[in-house]
Structure 1
Amino acid sequence: MTTDNPGAQIDMSVWQGRSDPEDGEKGLHWHQKILPADQANEGGIMLLGFACDEGVSRNKGRTGAYQAPVEIRKALANLAWHHSEPVYDGGNICCNDGNLELAQHRLGEDVCRALRQRHKVIVFGGGHEVAWGSFQGIGNYLIQKQHVISSENNQLPSETNTKSAPRIGIINFDAHFDLRNPPTGQQSEQGSSGTPFHQVARFCELQSWPFKYACLGLNRAGNTQALYEKADRLGVYYKDDTELTYANLANTIDALKTFIEGCDHLYLTIDIDVFPAAVAPGVSAPAARGVSPDIIEQLLAPVLEAKNRHGASKILVADLAEFNPRFDIDNQTARLAARLAWTIARAIR
């Protein structure tokens, strides 16, 4: 199994850190085990980077997330290795020319390819426009699977699509819905970091798939009434940051488990601005309140523990968005993003 990915830029030089040879195989760190994607000979975890500021710029935010994929890798490189299966670096898709739509399409192709090769995928954004690229990859992968099933059963693809529409649960830890409508009055609609789940909802509508979206950690002061009304129309499960407290934690976890049980697959996306600015200063839109890491960690647990009927993780793809190294302090936010990636990777393989 090899990965042919000429579009992505792979730089293994960022994977550096300490060595503890006196501890042998049990003293290894990520930088000593990570492999480039062209050495992917068995299923594992594929890391992809989406170096992009264009969506944040279009959404009138402060830019700087372009450098996030490299900085997350640097912070992850020195963390302890606790895996039995391989992890591969598939490089970065870079949006250097303002053509966000092409960059998202290319990311979708890379995600789809990695899923076909039986990898789990973790993507390092970039702004939250990364989500539309990640979901394109999931959607195209599942459409291709449907076509294979149709061929095997001598059915038309449309018949299979109607009978077995995949239930993809999107779980977004975020201070914002990111359900904005693209600006009107242009020749073609342009997405941004604020529109990815609107675009996902439209994709699901066109495919006659259910739109299953849970958004946890919302800052009500940062989301208009129109967005809350739209979320209600679309049947979104959501919780504000003020509701994510220890007093409500058990009920929220039960509701989240019910949501997960109704899903065949999961797409986990974490916008780092869901955390308080004191914990995550390096983000595009810092949170005045946010949700504490220990609450997020407990809410993540049922997501990471969810298994399908084959005993594998329900998570197909996870991504991290909106880390902005330009505004980080002492690599604090980079370390948080790396720890989240470490936790996710350990759970899904």
Structure 2
Amino acid sequence: MTNHSNFNVALLGIPFDDNSSFERGPALAPEKIREVLNNGSLNGATELGVNLRESAFWLDAGDVNIATASDFIDNIEQRCDELLTQNTRLLTLGGDHSISYPILKSYRKFFDKLSILHIDAHSDLYDSFKGNRYSNACPFARVMEDGLCDRLVQVGIRTLNLHQNEQIKKFNVESLEMRNWPLAEPLVFDHPVYLSLDIDGIDPAFAPGVSHREPGGLTTREVINLIHQINMPLVGADIVEFNPNKDIDNMTSQLAAKLVKEVAGKMLQANA
């Protein structure tokens, strides 16, 4: 991507959950997260000193219109291409985790070097799940097959089976399991970073509104600190798998909105 002194960061909704492998509901998330962001209970200030409500570089690009489930890859990729071409980087709200694959197909056209930080309870590396190669259990197998990143680092993982371990070895993925948490050393990246943040990477005590509750996860503060400590430019992100149907007293919608703010603040730091 051509370097510019300033760039926009756009909030992009993808209300799509046709590839959910267990329960539907994440398609409702973008609207719910925007509602919390805009309802007045939160101010625009992020912990890193960026005030989103005062930033000329923070905008809302609306939602991706997906014609049919079979068109989801092309529809998402094309919309991301349009925005990235306009010197706009993306903070995307899913939706299920299958949306990450077409987003990263687009990103790879604009970034010759790209690392992915993937926060999740699951590795999402199945070659196929329930007969669907584009399931929300499979996006990073497709990403690695297509060479869409130079390095994939996974944090929060606590559900590995034999097949997933085989895939980790096959694709040379750095999968950092929760059983070995905390990290012995801070993460250090050599290339721009794309963050893919599955809400179920966070412990269900903090984030009950997910389809796959997996105890033993990260705390909210641990995730925020991971975001703040990224040492290279954060050039894109998705926040996925929030299921409003499973939420309790809006706990997870408030968490998702907080994460949007902190991710956006980190992305916009480079404009300061």
Q: Smaller-chain TM-score range?
A: 0.7 to 0.9
Aligned length: 253
- Identify the match of residue 197 of structure 1 among 119, 135, 140: 140
Amino acid of the residue matched to residue 120 of structure 1? Answer: R
* TM-score, normalised with respect to structure 2: 0.86
Alignment correspondent of 2:170:
233
Tell me, yes or no, if the aligned pair for 1:51 and 1:93 is still in contact at 8 Å.
yes
Asked if residue 176 in structure 1 is aligned to residue 139 in structure 2, the reply is: no
SS of residue paired to 1:52: coil
Structure 2: distance between partners of 1:298 and 1:267: 16
The runs of 5 or more residues in structure 2 that have no matched partner are: 1-5, 45-50
Q: Indicate the residue corresponding to 1:80 in structure 2.
A: 43
1:111 Cα offset (Å): 1.6
- Equivalent residue number for residue 47 of structure 2: none
| Paired position in structure 1 for 2:262 | 343
Contact 1:138–1:316 (8 Å) recurs in 2: no
Deviations 1:4-36 (A, max 9, x none): xxxxxxxxxxxxxxxxxxxxxxxxxxxxxxxxx
RMSD of Structure 2 on Structure 1 (CA):
2.0
User: 2:94 aligned to 125, 136, 147, which one?
Assistant: 125
Larger RCO, structures 1/2 (Cα 8 Å, 6+ apart): 2
Which of 50, 69, 85 is equivalent to 2:14? 50
Equivalent of residue 137 in structure 1, options 94, 103, 106: 106
- Tell me how far apart the structure 2 counterparts of residues 210 and 64 of structure 1 sit (CA, whole Å): 29
Partner of 1:309 in structure 2? Answer: none
Q: 1:94 deviation in Å?
A: 4.5
Q: Helix, strand or coil for the counterpart of 2:124?
A: coil
Question: Between Structure 1 and Structure 2, whose CA radius of gyration is higher?
Answer: 1
CA offset digits 1:298-336 (Å, max 9, x no partner): 222222x42xxxxxxx22210101000001111110010
Contact 1:127 1:322 in 2 (8 A): yes
Rate the CA distance shift 1:173–1:252 in 2: closer, same or farther, 3 A. farther
Residue identity in the other structure for 1:92: D
Matches of 1:107 and 1:345, distance apart in 2? 20
Provide, for residues 52-92 of structure 1, a one-character-per-residue CA deviation record: whole Å limited to 9, x for no partner: 11111xx2x11110100101111111332214333221111
Separation (CA, whole Å) in 2 of partners of 1:232 and 1:203:
16
Q: Distance in 2 between matches of 1:315 and 1:283?
A: 25
Letter of the structure 2 residue corresponding to residue 288 of structure 1 = P
- Note closer, same or farther for the CA distance 1:95–1:114 as it changes in structure 2 (3 Å cut): closer
- Matched ranges for 1:1-349 at <5 A: 43-56=7-20, 59=21, 61-77=22-38, 78=40, 79-81=42-44, 82-83=51-52, 84-95=55-66, 97-99=68-70, 102-142=71-111, 166-182=112-128, 190-204=133-147, 211-219=150-158, 222-245=159-182, 249=183, 251-253=184-186, 256-257=187-188, 260-261=189-190, 263=191, 265-303=192-230, 305-306=231-232, 314-349=233-268
- With over 3 angstroms needed to count, the CA separation of the structure-2 counterparts of 1:94 and 1:252, relative to structure 1, is farther
CA distance in 1, matches of 2:176, 2:202: 14
Give the fraction of aligned pairs with identical amino acids, expressed as a percent: 25
The answer as to whether partners of 1:75 and 1:335 remain within 8 angstroms in 2 is: yes
SS at match of 1:336: helix
Q: Distance in 2 between matches of 1:95 and 1:118?
A: 23
Q: Is contact 1:68-1:125 (8 Å) kept?
A: yes
User: Which runs of 5 or more residues in structure 1 are unaligned?
Assistant: 1-41, 143-165, 307-313
- In structure 1, what is the equivalent of residue 3 of structure 2? none
Q: What TM-score does the superposition give when structure 1 sets the normalisation length?
A: 0.68
1:210: how far off?
5.8
* Residues in 2 aligned to 1:183 and 1:335: alpha-carbon distance in whole angstroms: 31
DSSP-derived class of the 1:54 partner: coil
Question: What CA deviation, in whole Å up to 9, does each residue of 1:235-281 have, x standing for no partner?
Answer: 11121122223xxx4x231xx11xx12x2x21111000011111101
Give 1:241's aligned amino acid. Answer: M
Q: Distance in 2 between matches of 1:347 and 1:168?
A: 17
Distance 1:96 1:115, change over 3 A: closer
